[in-house]
Copies of this chain bind each other. A is one copy, B any other.
């Protein structure tokens, strides 16, 4: 897939210039740390926080639990745009309406902050404005990075990236819980749920991960290389064990 630009590619030896630093290796320091003020509300597992095309009155910060943002394509397919974990902010829109719906993946507590308060804080205080810009750039970069991994990779790379990303974001150093279903993961990664399931099985059979229900443990540095796209995907086993 190097195409005709192979000549130019030679100018950037992968060893010295790191193309596409994976989010997973990104240091926690240096991230903007916005903290929203507002009412704390609790949502039951599966509850809708807001629906697509609802008025975008509030911005949310996850206190505990997990949120997924979702749209439906005209042909009926579902797209999961992302999962939001503790500390993360979602629901900030450019226009008057939400362009996707948000649902609680499991029991979730959220800080609900009026949109107008954000604008006001940014107008009043230069440092807050700067922090908000930095957060916007970060969220643009994360979206771009995600699509780089998810658009151009194999099922192996996608799932590896997903697991590493989640492990990093939860700061997990051992087993961690995946509160979402295989269907959610599939719609997030652009795969069928069957392929997600199969890929989990292959990782498990190769000793890259261990699973117990929806709990996962990353066992092996090799999964890191797959997730970073550093090596061509390991192929499906010829004979399935």
B-binding residues in A (CB < 8 A): 1-5, 9, 11-12, 14, 17-21, 30, 51-53, 71-79, 81, 92-95, 99, 101, 119, 122-123, 126, 129-130, 132-134, 136-141, 143-144, 146-148, 150-152, 181, 183, 186-187, 190, 192-193, 228-232
Whether A3 and B147, one on each chain, are in contact in the complex, defined by CB atoms closer than 8 angstroms, is no
Whether A152 and B3, one on each chain, are in contact in the complex, defined by CB atoms closer than 8 angstroms, is no
Whether A193 and B152, one on each chain, are in contact in the complex, defined by CB atoms closer than 8 angstroms, is no
Whether B99 and A21, one on each chain, are in contact in the complex, defined by CB atoms closer than 8 angstroms, is yes
The residue in chain B whose Cβ has the minimal distance to the Cβ of A21 is B99
The residue in chain B whose Cβ has the minimal distance to the Cβ of A182 is B3
Whether B5 and A152, one on each chain, are in contact in the complex, defined by CB atoms closer than 8 angstroms, is no
Whether B14 and A74, one on each chain, are in contact in the complex, defined by CB atoms closer than 8 angstroms, is yes
Whether A229 and B73, one on each chain, are in contact in the complex, defined by CB atoms closer than 8 angstroms, is yes
Given contact pairs A1-B187, A2-B76, A140-B139, A19 touches B71 in the complex (Cβ within 8 A): yes
Whether B20 and A74, one on each chain, are in contact in the complex, defined by CB atoms closer than 8 angstroms, is yes
Whether B133 and A193, one on each chain, are in contact in the complex, defined by CB atoms closer than 8 angstroms, is no
Whether B193 and A3, one on each chain, are in contact in the complex, defined by CB atoms closer than 8 angstroms, is yes
This chain: copies in complex: 2
- Report the separation of the CA atoms of residues A132 and B14 in the bound assembly, to the nearest whole angstrom: 34
| Nearest CB of B to A236, in Å | 18
Given contact pairs A73-B152, A152-B77, A152-B79, A136 touches B147 in the complex (Cβ within 8 A): no
Given contact pairs A52-B19, A146-B147, A74 touches B229 in the complex (Cβ within 8 A): yes
| Nearest CB of B to A130, in Å | 8
Given contact pairs A72-B14, A133-B133, A3 touches B78 in the complex (Cβ within 8 A): yes
Whether A78 and B137, one on each chain, are in contact in the complex, defined by CB atoms closer than 8 angstroms, is no
The residue in chain B whose Cβ has the minimal distance to the Cβ of A4 is B183
| Nearest CB of B to A141, in Å | 6
Out of B51, B183, B190, B231, name the residue touching A152 (CB < 8 Å). B190
- Report the separation of the CA atoms of residues A104 and B40 in the bound assembly, to the nearest whole angstrom: 49
Whether A74 and B230, one on each chain, are in contact in the complex, defined by CB atoms closer than 8 angstroms, is yes
- Report the separation of the CA atoms of residues A152 and B36 in the bound assembly, to the nearest whole angstrom: 33
